Structure formats: C-alpha cells, structure tokens
Amino acid sequence: MKKSGMGAALLVIAGLLLCGNIAAAAPKSGFGLFGGAAKHDATGSFLPAFGGGSISYSSSGLSIGVDYQIALGDSFSVNPFLMSSSESTSGDLQSDIKAGHGILGLGVRFWPGDLFVGAHFGRYSEALSGGSGGSLSANGGGFGLSVGWESPDGGLFVMGQYDSFSLSYDDADIDEKGVRLQVGYRWK
C-alpha cells in the first residue's frame, strides 16, 4: 500500500472510531462550577429628556458561574445557570468605571456526543460603579448561544458563549453583546 493510501485509510479508521464514540456518549446530570473571561460591547442612546445623543462602551474581565445540568436522554439537557463577571470599561464612560454583569438563565443543549450546542434565555443585569457618579444598575431580558465540549464521564468541560440583551437605565437605553470563554468541572 502506498504511503498516501495508508494515510487515507488511517484517517477513515480514525473518523469511524470518532463517530462510534460520538454515538455512544450522552450528557451527564450534575452540578457544574466554571470560570473564565468575559467581554461586552454596549451601544445605546440617552433619552430625549437627558439630551439625547449616543453612547458606546466596552468592558472585559473575569467571569464565574454555576449550573445544574439535567440530562434528558442521550442527546438533550436542560441547564439552569447563574453567571457573574467583574470588568474594566473603556469608551464613553469615565476611565475608572467598573462594570458588573450577571445572568440568571435557563439553557437547552443538544449533544452530538461529547460536544454540545445550546441556546438560552435569561434575565441580564449590569451594574456600573466608580467615578464621581456613584453606582447605577439596570436589568433586562436577552438570549444567547453556546458551544462546548464535556468529558464523557463528567468532570472537565470547556464552553464558549454569545449573549445579546437590552437594558433600560433611567436616562438611557442600551443594547449589549457579550462573549464568554469558560473552563469548568461537573460533579455527577
């Protein structure tokens, strides 16, 4: 057999073994704890009573969270979760303003093996503090998407998440987009 033919055969065998493992895996129920990085981008406008005009700012920092995964058969799970982050801001805010973001949500995941693809909705919050303005906070609804990998026996997992949500402050309406990259551990 030629080297190129042997390499192709090895790739086919590896693919079949991988597909066999994908079919045999299933999500695990249990408590998860995770942490990582978060980044948010906000755009909005001040209400006419506060002079109108646009506002734009970004924030980035550390994120932590907990969830409880409930396996629904071999291919689906439901995940109630709570996430929080502490972030430094830049843009149209004073330089010493800090942002805190939180999510209380519910996700549904589809599992083609050890990988998952999910969607979630939740109640999002933002708190801005520091500077001469004291602190402000707002809440709003939103949704998100997630992708990740989890060890077949539970344990280590990695997840990327995208969020989109809207907030209403007393003087401005804000739309935000966020991303999080998390590494965690699930107890089964």
For residue 11, tell me if it sits in a domain. Answer: no
For residue 178, tell me if it sits in a domain. Answer: yes
Report the alpha-carbon distance of residue 14 to residue 19 in Å, rounded.
Answer: 9
Report the alpha-carbon distance of residue 73 to residue 80 in Å, rounded.
Answer: 17
For residue 13, tell me if it sits in a domain. Answer: no
For residue 78, tell me if it sits in a domain. Answer: yes
How many structural domains compose the chain?
1
For residue 16, tell me if it sits in a domain. Answer: no
Determine the average pLDDT of the residues in 76-89.
97
pLDDT of 159 strictly over 80:
yes
Q: Which pTM does this prediction carry?
A: 0.82
pLDDT of 87 strictly over 90:
yes
pLDDT of amino acid 25: 67
pLDDT of amino acid 14: 43
Q: What is the CATH number of the domain that holds 144?
A: 2.40.128.100
For residue 18, tell me if it sits in a domain. Answer: no
For residue 59, tell me if it sits in a domain. Answer: yes
Report the alpha-carbon distance of residue 101 to residue 15 in Å, rounded.
Answer: 41
Q: Let me know: does 138 contact 159? Beta carbons within 8 Å.
A: no
pLDDT in tens, 98-146: 999 999 999 999 999 999 999 999 999 999 998 776 788 999 999 999 9
For residue 105, tell me if it sits in a domain. Answer: yes
Work out the pLDDT band at 50, boundaries 50, 70, 90. Answer: low
Domain containing 119 equals 27-187
